[in-house]
Structure 1
Amino acid sequence: MPIRVLIADDQAMVRAGFRSVLESQPDIDVVAEAADGVEAVALARQHRPDVCLFDIRMPRQDGLHATRLLMGPQASHPAKIVIVTTYDTDEYVYEALESGATGFLLKDSGPTLLLEAVRAAASGEAMVSPAVTVRLLKHMTRRPNTAQWKKAGLTERELDVIELVARGKTNPEIAAELHLSLSTVKTHLESIKLKISTRNRVEIAAWAWKNGVVD
């Protein structure tokens, strides 16, 4: 079945451009478009898309608030949301990820990264534009908090995996660097998510930088 996508942006030309790129692919189908955040939330609840693409600045309700509504504890079907915006300020990126967004993409990233972000979100992975990833996460750095590591019950190998995730490594790259099988890496990631209460790779990376796993 194709990946079902909702596009929310207040500019009709942007929505049309995204639709054109996405529907050029046989495995992606745009099921709805919204021109503001209120409409985006309503359509997401109605259509239950696999992936939502939300702009930040939209009338009536911005994309960040819409994300919080769809990812909150009362959400019966939490969405996989990728923020696609012109604005890459650290505050926006951090708030998007804290609100539960699966990814953060700049509008000028190009069609290839847009498609990669949609497919990554649909498969439970996350993508943040390379232009902002390292800068964002470094701003989250605090002094090493080994008490948090111990409290979470993380193993040394799990900390190794967390560090590589925070540095933007893919599962195959982590497997190669740590001399592990791909299935073992995936098992470690599932264990890590449970132990530190995160939902995806972006949140794992944010946790790593916050707690000084990487410097």
Structure 2
Amino acid sequence: MIEIVIAEDEPLLRSGLRALAEHDGDIAVVAEVGDGASAVGSVREHRPDIVLMDIRMPVLDGIAATRRIVDDPDLDGVRIIVLTTFDEDENVFDAIRSGASGYLLKDIQPQDLRHAIRLVADGQSLLAPSITGKVMRAAASTRRRTRPELVDGLSAREREVLSAIGRGLDNREIAAELFISPDTARTYVSRLLTKLPARDRTHLAIIAHQSGLAGSGEAC
């Protein structure tokens, strides 16, 4: 069972998100809160797998609440999906910098929301399609300042996996492309997170672009 906390200042939206999340029976909402400060407190109390975090909330906004949760070593393992009506560039980048593992818009389809929760609970990161392009374009704009030293020390296979992450492939797609098992792909991703200055899969994708590995299917 995947346990989640919903942080959303609109009571009607909180109720709707609960109903959508719990629809299939494998996701349970353990708490609902209406502001960022309460979200931090609720996460400390319940230690959920996932937090659905709105951005614009009273007392403490969702970005600041995300940062507090991610920076708390006692809450290691709690992953945050920012769920908002806004896709402004600064909100997206603030959420990524704060350590969010997903950034989705509230017009997401119900089944896609549940799929996103499962993916993030499984250790992956996820951005709404309309947002992925913004992040990757911003990362690509740094290519004139390419930093190949970021991937010094990686094996050829690790570079191939990082390249695939930079191109947006998930673990199953990486496995199919590289003729390895999904479990082996997951192991390589975990190894990259240990070796590189990356908090999650989104940061790995950015490093792939910054190091010049995401331009093709071939490691540089």
Partner Cα distance (2:158, 2:202) in 1: 16
Query: Which residue in the other structure is 2:115 paired with?
Result: 116
Q: 1:169-205 CA deviation, whole Å, 9 max, x = no partner?
A: 1212112212223233222212211110323222211
Query: Which residue in the other structure is 1:170 paired with?
Result: 170
Partner Cα distance (1:158, 1:112) in 2: 32
Query: Which residue in the other structure is 1:75 paired with?
Result: 73
Partner Cα distance (1:186, 1:37) in 2: 32
RMSD (Å) for aligned C-alpha atoms: 1.5
Q: Contact conserved, 2:148 with 2:210, CA < 8 A, in 1?
A: no
Letter in 2 for 1:147: E
Indicate the SS of the match to 1:30.
strand
Partner Cα distance (1:43, 1:135) in 2: 32
Q: Contact conserved, 2:102 with 2:120, CA < 8 A, in 1?
A: yes
| TM-score, normalising length: structure 1 | 0.92
Q: Contact conserved, 1:134 with 1:167, CA < 8 A, in 2?
A: no
Indicate the SS of the match to 2:24.
coil
Give unmatched runs, 5+ long, in structure 1.
none
2:61 aligned with 1:59, yes or no? no
Indicate the SS of the match to 1:40.
helix
Letter in 1 for 2:105: L
Indicate the SS of the match to 2:127.
coil
Query: Which residue in the other structure is 1:148 paired with?
Result: 150
Query: Which residue in the other structure is 2:158 paired with?
Result: 158
Give unmatched runs, 5+ long, in structure 2.
216-220
Q: Contact conserved, 1:34 with 1:40, CA < 8 A, in 2?
A: yes
Letter in 2 for 1:148: L
Query: Which residue in the other structure is 2:191 paired with?
Result: 191
Q: 1:13-48 CA deviation, whole Å, 9 max, x = no partner?
A: 211110111121211111111111111111111111
Indicate the SS of the match to 2:73.
coil
Identity %: 39
Partner Cα distance (1:182, 1:30) in 2: 29
Shift of 1:10: 0.9
Q: Which stretches of structure 1, 4 residues or more, deviate above 3 A after TM superposition?
A: none
Aligned residues: 211
Q: Contact conserved, 1:9 with 1:36, CA < 8 A, in 2?
A: yes
| TM-score, normalising length: structure 2 | 0.90
Shift of 1:145: 1.6
Shift of 1:213: 2.4
Partner Cα distance (1:120, 1:185) in 2: 15
Change (3 A) 1:76 1:32: same
Q: Contact conserved, 1:138 with 1:209, CA < 8 A, in 2?
A: no
Query: Which residue in the other structure is 2:200 paired with?
Result: 200
Query: Which residue in the other structure is 1:12 paired with?
Result: 11
Q: Contact conserved, 1:7 with 1:52, CA < 8 A, in 2?
A: yes
Letter in 1 for 2:170: T
Name the stretch that deviates more: 27-36 or 167-176: 167-176
Partner Cα distance (1:214, 1:138) in 2: 12
Shift of 1:70: 0.5
2:95 aligned with 1:84, yes or no? no
Letter in 2 for 1:196: L
Shift of 1:162: 1.0
